[in-house]
Every structure is written in C-alpha cells, then in structure tokens.
C-alpha cells in the first residue's frame, strides 16, 4: 500500500459533529494546519465524514472514539474552531467494515493494522475545493496533517452548571456565586448589568453574543429564581488564559477545603490545580491573596492577634496555674512592645530535674509585623532541649534583652528558695552580656560554639581550621588545648591570632569555669527548626499556640517513653557509662587510701578522688558522669558506678522533669464565657494592644541571620594573585594578560 497524505488547505474546516465517533489507530499522524477547525462535542464521539458521496466503512457495529492517550474522570470540553469557508463533514452514518481509526499515545491519527479502507476511497483537498476521494488509493498509511491555531478556551456544555428558567437559589449571593461558577466552568465571561437586593441581570461579555440572563427575588422570602434566559451563546468561548469572574474570592472558595486539610499548600500549587481543573491561568498574587483570605478566616488576622493578647495571657494563667504570661504595650499609643510566657510545668521541671544550664537564642519572625522571638532553654537528663521561657519583642536590642533576662530571673527567684548557679550559653552580644551580668551575676557565661565557629568559617573559609577549632574547644586539659592552637598556627598565623583575641575561658572546655555537661552549643533555633520557623510566620497568638501545643506533646511523649525505661540512668548516660566500663577493664588501679586512687593506662597516669568526684583528666567534673579512670577506681573497691553520677541523669529525675502537664487552652470564642466573674479577666478585656509600627519590608526575606559578632565587622580584603589587585580572586579576574 502506498502512503497518502490528507492535507487540509488554508480555508477548510475539519468538523467532527456530535454523536459521531472517531477512533484513531497506530501508525498515522494527525497534524492540524493553521486556520482549520477541529470541533469535538460534549460526548467525545465523532464520525469521520469524508465527502458527500463516499462512505468510510469502519467495522461491524463499532463506535469510533477519540482517545487522546489519557483517560479523564471528568468530562472536559475540547472544542477548537479554526477555519473559515469549507467543512469536512458527512451527515450519513459510516458503513460497517473492518477498519478502525484510533489515536495512539503519540497523538497520531492512523488506521489499524490489517484494516483496509475501501480501495475506491482516497482523500485530497486543495485550497478551494471540497474533500474528494481518489479511487486508486487506500488510507492504510495515510497521514492527516492539520496544525492547531492558538485558541485557548472554548465554551462547552457541562450538565453540572447548566442554568434553567425557574432554577432557585437561597439568596442573592448564592445566585451570583452560581452564575459566576457557571461562567467559569462553561468558559464564557459575564458582564453584570444590574445587581441589587431584588434582581440580578447579566449578559455575555463577548460583543455580539445574544446570551442574557435575569434573576429576581421571590416575594416574602430571600430566595432568588431565574426568570429568563435569552438565546444561546454564539461567541464560541473566550480566547485568553484568564477569566474575568476568577476573582480572589473565587480562588479562596475553590481552595478552602484543601487549605483546611493542608495549611502549607503553596500559592504555586494553587495555580497549578486551578489551571489543571478549570483551565484558567491566574497571577501568583491572586493565588497568594486567595490563600491569605482563607488563612485569615481560619486563624484570625494579625491585628486581632495583638488585640486579644491580654485575654490570651489570662487564659494561660487560668488553665495552667503558676504560669507566667504578661504583655506590655507602649505607654503612649499602646502599640505592642513585649510578651513573656513561661509555663508552670516548664518552671517546675527545670528547677527540680534539669541541669543548671541555660541556652539563650533568638529567631526573627516572618509575620506581617515582624518582631523577634527570644528563647531560654534548658537541657533534660537525656540531653534534649527543655524550653523554659519565651519572649516576643518588637525588635531585638539591648533594652529588650535586659528586660527578657530580668523576667527570667524573677520567675526563677519566685519559684525556688536557692537560686541555682547557672551556666549560660549565648552568642555573647553586648545586650546579652549586660543582661546576664545584671540579673545573674554569679552565672558562668560562655560562648555558644556554633556562633563562634560560623564567624571563624566566614573569616577563613578553611574546613581544616574549623575542625581544629572544635577540637581545641573539646580539649579537656590546657596541654591538649594549646597543642591544637599550635596546629592552627602552623596552618595560618592569622587564624591563631583571631582565636587568641577571644578569651579561652569563654569558650574552651579546658579553661571554662562553669559546668556545661559536654554542651558547647545552645543550638536552640536549629534544633527547633522543623516547627518553630513555620510558626514564626503566624499571627502572634497562633504562633504561641503552636509552641504550646508542641511543648504539650513533648511533655506527654517523653513522660510516656520514660515509663518504659527499666535502667537506673537515662539511655544516653547508660551508653556513656557502658563505654567507660569497656575502657576501665584494661586499666591498672593502685589504691592510696579509702578515696584516692592512681589509675594507669596506655595514655598515662591519672589520679581519681571518689569522695570529691574528680579525676585529673577532668572528664568526671565536666560531664557529671564517671570517666573511664573513675569507673576503674570504683570497680576496684566494689562500688556501684550508678551511685556516683549526677542526679539529673537518673530515670527518676527525668520523670520528675516531665511530671507536670501543660494544659490546652480553649478556643477564643469561649474565653468570655469561661472568664465570667474573674476580675482579672475583665481588666484584660478592657486593655487593647495595637500592632507594632514595624511592617514587613518588600522583597525576599533574608534566609540566614546575621550573627551578632559579625555586625559592624569590616569585611576581609581579598587579593588577586594574577593582577595583584584587591577586591577579587584569581578565578574571577578580568584583567587583560
């Protein structure tokens, strides 16, 4: 068989009319040239008519369908009107034969194998004639080549959105909404002529289209009914990607259910879903505004969050007795300045069961009015973070850090007779240093090594130097520390000088006077990164509720987990003691008296005093657990190793840390009812806090925060080894050779 092309000229239409099946097979291409119409009706079934006097036999009692490679559950209108003068059509039903046309996965129009068309039929169309049939050819391998012009949307019918005279709606809003949805679904734009409380009249926005609809209110009830619908559409649909009726409110209504199920649904995903389902392309801003409208309805507005803060604080104190919750506004205009919250369960657990170690950190809020979240976090016996207090301030400055640390001191002083001597870790910016010295004068205040190492990395950008810095920080003795500094000096004298400028008593374990239990970093924000950054973009009450729910869940999960432990020490401490036992078996122990021992190992000799719980290697003092030398000494005198660990590492103490409960807070709609008769609650209702004056600046927000020690620092001058100029490297040098 020869290959024959069916070519539709410039002015010919390929019309596939209703109830005419078209089945396209395997090996034949379907190309549509410019200005030709391919019209596919609602039922997606078309006959292929090939001229007035010729029938195309297509098998016995087979329908011929248009299969586009993918099956869709919902019916979509695929109508394209291209072309002007001529039509490829046949009103007669095709004969029954053994030939089928099918559209393959590659959208090629072909005739199935072993299914020949009548030898007397062939197709040829020129620019001015109807389609003819050449009897000398068949269409076994014929190609139909017709390209598609850029029509974007075509009006079609959809039973779900069909409008009829007498159709009723509960009210005028429902009527407008139904007409809007119908216009979007049927791909035509609607222009409102009249719209008030008793009537609604609209017409098709396409010029010359006679379609018009009128709805009116029934007497005595709010119900609206369609009175008249004039004519049908002649416009053929809209010819652009957007839609006049696709407003922000329509976007909000469309994605409301999805957002309630997944609040993290992104505007980009909203755009993709609307385009896929409705065939409409919207701007990113429309999708974002639609999402914000629904989120505001779900979580409340940012302004409402500040207004309800006094009542929220009263609810915290009512549902969690002993908790501290206070909000402060600017005395002049009552704009928000500060919020401090600490739950009673956290206060009790920290003072009675946690290590006397606090980490201070902050993260910048990403909400409409910005601000900064300040955090004070302890560490439980198993080494996990134990959040103690939270503060929200309008901006981070020395004054606000002083206030936060003052509130922190007050809550500890109120809840304990003997203030513990704390070890505090932070980035040691000026406001924090001054606040610690003023409120915790006896505390040991050290650098958080994460901040220090990041600054060092930015300055020298050498992984080997950074690793040596961490090894120097972990060194237990002065000799080990100095050896690491000498290694750094051999690589870079500038790096060694940079390190020596910072007093080692503030960061190096060998010199640090406090007890950090092996914690060199506070690492709070990074550890809480999975959920606290998400909360930082919410309205202030929603953010604090997100934090409270996370704490409530943590307390419950850790309490239940600890009930399953059967050991004396928490798992991390048990592992450390087990490792020490393995090493201790190889040591030689000599006893000096009932408390003093000499332990000999391959590394050297160490002196252990079990009465004062100290070892010359300083491991016992620094970590609170017996080191390998101490374990060897204790085993030699048949002592129980677990009795010589700090109490915070025991399972009993760990359970005490999480013994209290953080209680849920009822929905804001119930606050007034639950607080009736409470004088403090009545006062809180009268206090109105306005949003702070700081607003989110335009542009993409900074992903990484600027370290305090980097602020005001002069940038290191880089030097090019190729042209001997400053300001660039050799790899980016553009100077001529």
From the centroid of its chain, how far is CA 497? 42
At 154, the pLDDT band (50, 70, 90 cuts) reads very low
Compute φ and ψ for 244, nearest 5 degrees.
-65, -35
Residue 232 predicted with pLDDT over 80: yes
The token duo for 369 is 């009015």
> Tens digit of pLDDT for each residue in 334-384?
999 999 999 999 999 999 999 889 999 888 888 888 899 999 999 999 988
pLDDT of residue 614: 92
> Tens digit of pLDDT for each residue in 592-605?
999 999 999 988 89
pLDDT of residue 391: 95
Task: Give the predicted TM-score (pTM) of the model.
Answer: 0.64
E-assigned strand segments in 538-625: 588-591, 596-601, 604-609, 614-615
Q: Tell me how far apart the alpha carbons of residues 196 and 169 are, in angstroms, rounded to a whole number.
A: 15
Running DSSP on this structure, what letter comes out for residue 536? T
Q: Tell me how far apart the alpha carbons of residues 725 and 197 are, in angstroms, rounded to a whole number.
A: 76
Please provide the average confidence, as pLDDT, over all residues in the chain.
77
What mean pLDDT comes out for the span 128-148?
A: 40
Q: Give the strand pairing for 5-7 and 143-146.
A: parallel
pLDDT of residue 525: 67
How many helices and strands in the chain, by DSSP H and E?
22, 25
What mean pLDDT comes out for the span 402-408?
A: 95
pLDDT of residue 481: 93
Compute φ and ψ for 169, nearest 5 degrees.
-135, 150
> Tens digit of pLDDT for each residue in 248-297?
989 988 888 888 888 778 889 999 999 888 888 889 999 988 988 888 78
At 144, the pLDDT band (50, 70, 90 cuts) reads very low
Query: What SS3 string covers 658-679?
Result: CCCCCCCCCCHHHHHHHCCCCH
Own/partner pairs for 530-535, CB < 8 Å, 24+ apart?
A: 532/363, 532/373, 533/363, 533/366, 534/264
pLDDT of residue 700: 58
Q: Tell me how far apart the alpha carbons of residues 501 and 455 are, in angstroms, rounded to a whole number.
A: 13
Consecutive H or E run containing 390: strand 385-393
Query: Is 124 in a helix, a strand, or coil?
Result: strand
> Tens digit of pLDDT for each residue in 523-577?
676 667 667 777 888 889 999 999 999 999 999 999 999 999 999 999 999 999 9
């Amino acid at each position: 068989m020869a290959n024959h092309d069916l070519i539709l000229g410039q002015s010919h239409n390929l019309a596939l009319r209703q109830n005419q099946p078209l089945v396209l097979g395997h090996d034949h291409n379907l190309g549509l040239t410019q200005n030709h119409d391919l019209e596919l009706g609602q039922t997606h079934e078309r006959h292929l008519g090939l001229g007035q006097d010729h029938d195309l036999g297509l098998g016995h009692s087979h329908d011929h369908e248009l299969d586009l490679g993918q099956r869709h559950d919902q019916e979509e209108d695929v109508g394209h009107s291209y072309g002007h003068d001529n039509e490829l059509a046949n009103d007669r039903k095709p004969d029954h034969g053994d030939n089928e046309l099918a559209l393959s996965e590659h959208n090629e129009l072909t005739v199935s194998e072993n299914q020949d068309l009548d030898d007397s039929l062939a197709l040829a169309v020129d620019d001015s004639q109807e389609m003819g049939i050449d009897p000398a050819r068949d269409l076994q391998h014929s190609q139909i080549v017709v390209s598609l012009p850029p029509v974007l949307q075509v009006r079609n019918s959809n039973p779900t959105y069909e409008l009829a005279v007498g159709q009723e709606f509960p009210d005028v809003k429902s009527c407008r909404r139904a007409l809007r949805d119908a216009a979007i679904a049927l791909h035509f734009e609607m222009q409102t002529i009249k719209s008030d409380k008793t009537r609604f009249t609209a017409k098709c926005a396409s010029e010359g289209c006679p379609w018009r609809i009128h709805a009116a209110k029934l007497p005595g009830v709010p119900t609206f009914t369609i009175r008249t619908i004039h004519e049908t559409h002649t416009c053929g649909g809209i010819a652009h990607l957007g839609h006049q009726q696709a407003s922000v409110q329509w976007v909000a209504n469309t994605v409301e259910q999805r957002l309630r199920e997944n609040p993290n649904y992104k505007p980009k995903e909203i755009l993709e879903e609307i385009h896929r389902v409705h065939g409409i392309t919207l701007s990113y801003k429309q999708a974002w505004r639609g999402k914000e409208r629904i989120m505001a309805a779900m979580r409340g507005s940012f302004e409402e969050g500040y207004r309800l803060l006094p009542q929220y604080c009263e609810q915290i104190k009512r549902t969690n007795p002993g908790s501290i919750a206070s909000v402060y506004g600017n005395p002049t205009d009552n704009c928000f300045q500060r919020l401090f919250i600490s739950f009673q369960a956290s206060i009790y657990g920290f003072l009675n069961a946690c290590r006397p170690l606090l980490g201070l950190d902050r993260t910048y809020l990403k909400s409409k009015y910005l601000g900064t979240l300040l955090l004070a976090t302890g560490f439980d016996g198993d080494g996990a973070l134990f959040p103690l207090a939270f503060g929200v301030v309008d901006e981070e400055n020395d004054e606000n850090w002083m206030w936060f640390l003052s509130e922190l001191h007050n809550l500890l002083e109120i809840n304990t007779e003997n203030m513990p001597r704390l070890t505090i870790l932070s980035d040691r910016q000026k406001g924090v240093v001054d606040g610690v010295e003023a409120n915790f004068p006896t505390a040991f205040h050290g650098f958080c090594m994460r901040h220090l190492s990041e600054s060092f990395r930015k300055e020298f950008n050498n992984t080997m130097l950074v690793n040596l810095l961490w090894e120097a920080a972990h060194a237990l003795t002065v000799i080990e520390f100095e050896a690491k500094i000498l290694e750094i000096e051999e690589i870079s004298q500038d790096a060694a000088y940079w390190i020596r400028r910072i007093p080692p008593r503030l960061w190096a374990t060998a010199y640090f006077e406090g007890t950090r239990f092996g914690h060199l970093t506070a690492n709070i924000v990074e550890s809480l990164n999975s959920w606290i950054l998400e909360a930082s973009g919410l309205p202030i009450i929603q953010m604090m509720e997100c934090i409270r729910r996370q704490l409530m869940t943590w307390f419950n999960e850790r309490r239940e987990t600890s009930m399953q432990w059967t050991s004396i020490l928490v798992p991390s401490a048990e592992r450390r003691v087990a490792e020490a036992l393995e090493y201790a078996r190889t040591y030689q122990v000599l006893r000096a008296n009932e408390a003093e021992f000499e332990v000999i190992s391959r590394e050297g000799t160490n002196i252990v005093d079990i009465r004062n719980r100290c070892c010359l290697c300083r491991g016992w003092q620094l970590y609170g657990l017996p080191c390998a030398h101490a374990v060897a000494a204790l085993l030699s005198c048949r002592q129980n190793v677990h009795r010589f660990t700090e109490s915070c590492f025991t399972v009993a103490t760990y359970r005490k840390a999480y013994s209290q409960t953080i209680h849920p807070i009822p929905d804001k709609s119930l606050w007034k009812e639950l607080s009736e008769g409470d004088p403090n609650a009545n006062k809180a209702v009268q206090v109105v806090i306005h949003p702070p004056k700081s607003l989110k600046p335009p542009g993409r927000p900074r992903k990484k925060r600027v370290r305090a020690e980097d602020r005001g620092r002069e940038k290191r001058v880089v030097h090019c080894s190729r042209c001997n100029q400053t300001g660039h490297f050799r790899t980016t040098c553009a100077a001529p050779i």
